[in-house]
Amino acid sequence: MDTVRKTRPRGGLLAAAGPLGKPLPLALAVAAVVVVVLSAVSDSSTLFNLTSAAVSVVFMQSYGLITGRAGVISLCQLSFAAIGAWTVGWANVNDVPGGLYVWLLLGGLAAVVAGLLIGLPALRLRGVNLAVGTFAFAIALDVVFGGLNFPGQSSSDLVQRPELFDTDQAYFIFAAAVAALIFVGLYFLDRSRLGGALVEIRHSERAAAAHGISVTQGKLAAFALSAFVAGIGGGLMAGQLGVVTASNFSSFASVALFAIALFVGTNNVEGAIAGGIMGAFVPVLMDEIGIPQDLASLLFGLGAIQVLRMGQSQTDLLRGQRRRRRLAKNPIAPLQPPPVSVFPRKRPVRVTSKGVPALEVRDLRVKFGNLVAVDDVSLVLPRGQIVGLVGPNGAGKSTLINTVTGFTNRYTGQVLLGGKPIDALSAHHRARAGVRRSFQQLRVPTSISVGMFLQVAAGKTLTGKEIDEQLALFACPPADTPMEAVDVATRRLLEVAGLAVGRPPVLLLDEPAAGHSSDETRLLVERLAEIPERFDTSLLLVEHDIELVRATCDQVVVLDFGRVIASGPPQQVLNDPTVIAAYLGDSTR
Ligand SMILES: Nc1ncnc2c1ncn2[C@@H]1O[C@H](COP(=O)(O)OP(=O)(O)OP(=O)(O)O)[C@@H](O)[C@H]1O
């Protein structure tokens, strides 16, 4: 029987709240009014600083893309900005048709080329090594641009602004409008599969690969997009100052902006705006009260170190507090278990398909040094069936799953999906080919919504209706609930729900019931048993809960010390004295 919890009716992902919790058009309208009023009441020096702030917001958006969303440390965003500014200057000097509108796009595109060039080698690096690599690029460009004059620099050929935005007042509005346009793009990116993929890559590259996401392509896309945005920011700065020089984009300025971005958290709107304002106004303020401007960088650096210690930026912290207050007011209703007890339950009788098995493992052998973790294992997962893989701790179950899904590639033997060998495929290609998995250690990102996570786990675009139905089926909270607010057992359930709704031919679940209460396990048993029929998915289930295995599996394979010691129908295998001696013990008799 279906267990359906009522979820609030919604219109799918795009109906979610926009920046700052307001619908997108309202947020844009409010921002437009603020910008117009500011431009009308500010004197010329404030206008200059406001325009600098708008340009800095664009730089912050670029950091928000590469570091905030994809989790890649890049210390060369201002080098991309320099390339954008250089291109705008060149287009201005050469009278390229289209004016600043077109030149900005050209600057963004030129920066994309650099972003891809630096992104490709950087993909092999992580953490501090990547930071050093990008910083080296920034320093190299310092040297290159330091030796070259920017176009127009020696002839004082000022970048021509469009007629409509020629005054400083109008140019501030133009810069703010460009930042707003980028915010709109980011708003839709955050709700797209690519946006979900970037967040998952930041959270866990292994989980991303298991969901069919190419980590390489995701990071490259982040490099390219962030370079595009930074390039546009550099071009905007050229339009603001008329002529720029290498000192405007120094590697140290890049690091200072990175520190601000880390401190405030620029993967969200309020963070990017706050970061932009801080970047432009704090040094000016310090100057006015007689403190050397350079000390501002030191302050930002200290703030960034504090964030690294706490693991959360200021805006993440504030958002978390706001979410918790909202949740305290409207708590998520507790999960409703199926009305009937399923222990003991009768397994649905499935007809064994005589065709090609969904998955076949032949003579699989995996060694870690001298330890043989999987020792010549052969097993068959017939189409439309659930096969349980059980065995004591250290028997080799997770290693087998890791190997089948491409996360351990030093093995001998063969893995066949639908009769075709997939041994040559990487993890994300195996996932795309149709072998999906969950991990024993939960690897779900908490900074996205339940609906977005379901979509990421499914590995395909789902309609709002599909998301709502699947959430109801698994008695999970509504799509707009933040993952952060969901308890660990429900996160596991959500992962199974998401993987299943992707309808992969083969699904491997590694201890999906770990940490579940008996009610939650009952619900899980109901849903697992339905997966083959409902989603046309064959299931390989690693589980220590023998009652769950008995209740759901058509076949059971028992591993001990990496070897298959028994296989067959559950009632036969689970009562086999060898199995009981090896694993189950007297308690299960
Ligand atoms: N990366 C690794 N390097 C070295 N040894 C490993 C590695 N991964 C697993 N092992 C070893 O391989 C053996 C099988 O481990 P595995 O995690 O596959 O067992 P399991 O049946 O999944 O156990 P559990 O039920 O506790 O999850 C163990 O002895 C383990 O210590």
Using CB distances shorter than 6 Å, the residues near ligand 1 are 368, 371, 373, 391, 393-399, 440
- Residue 113 to residue 220: CA distance in whole angstroms: 11
- Residue 475 to residue 487: CA distance in whole angstroms: 13
- Residue 526 to residue 536: CA distance in whole angstroms: 16
- Residue 541 to residue 319: CA distance in whole angstroms: 38
Tell me the average pLDDT across 233-244: 94
Q: Which atom of ligand 1 is nearest to the CA of 399?
A: 18
Q: Which of 125, 115, 108 is nearest to 223 (CA)?
A: 115
**Residue linked to tokens 């960088």:** 297
Q: Largest Cα–Cα distance in the chain? A: 92
Per-residue confidence band for 422, with pLDDT thresholds at 50, 70 and 90: very high
Mean pLDDT score across all residues of the chain:
85
Hey, which of 206, 365, 368 would you mutate to test ligand 1's pocket, going by the most ligand atoms within 8 Å of its Cβ? 368
Burial of 322 (0-12, 13-18, 19+ CB in 10 A): exposed
Tell me the average pLDDT across 395-420: 94
CA of 561 to the centre of ligand 1 (A): 10
Sorted by where each starts, the structural domains of the chain and their CATH numbers stand as: 31-316 (no CATH), 359-588 (3.40.50.300)
- Residue 284 to residue 121: CA distance in whole angstroms: 38
Residue 172 pLDDT > 90, yes or no? yes
Hey, which of 206, 370, 377, 399 would you mutate to test ligand 1's pocket, going by the most ligand atoms within 8 Å of its Cβ? 399
Specify the pTM: 0.80
User: For 492-510, how does the pLDDT look when each residue is reduced to its tens digit (9 = 90+)?
Assistant: 889 999 999 999 999 999 9
CA of 158 to the centre of ligand 1 (A): 65
Backbone angles phi, psi at 576, to 5 degrees: -70, 125
Determine how β-strand 386-390 pairs with β-strand 371-381.
unpaired
User: For 501-537, how does the pLDDT look when each residue is reduced to its tens digit (9 = 90+)?
Assistant: 999 999 999 999 888 887 788 888 888 988 998 899 9
| Ligand 1, atom 4: closest residue by C-alpha | 368
Q: Which atom of ligand 1 is nearest to the CA of 398?
A: 22
Give, in degrees to the nearest 5, the angle at Cα 493 between 491 and 498: 90
CA of 399 to the centre of ligand 1 (A): 6
**Residue linked to tokens 């010329």:** 44
User: For 21-44, how does the pLDDT look when each residue is reduced to its tens digit (9 = 90+)?
Assistant: 457 788 888 999 999 999 999 999
Determine how β-strand 411-417 pairs with β-strand 359-368.
antiparallel
Q: Which two tokens stand for residue 531?
A: 């997966």
| Ligand 1, atom 9: closest residue by C-alpha | 399
Determine how β-strand 420-421 pairs with β-strand 411-417.
antiparallel
What pLDDT is attached to residue 351?
Answer: 55
Q: Which two tokens stand for residue 558?
A: 């028992």
CA of 373 to the centre of ligand 1 (A): 7
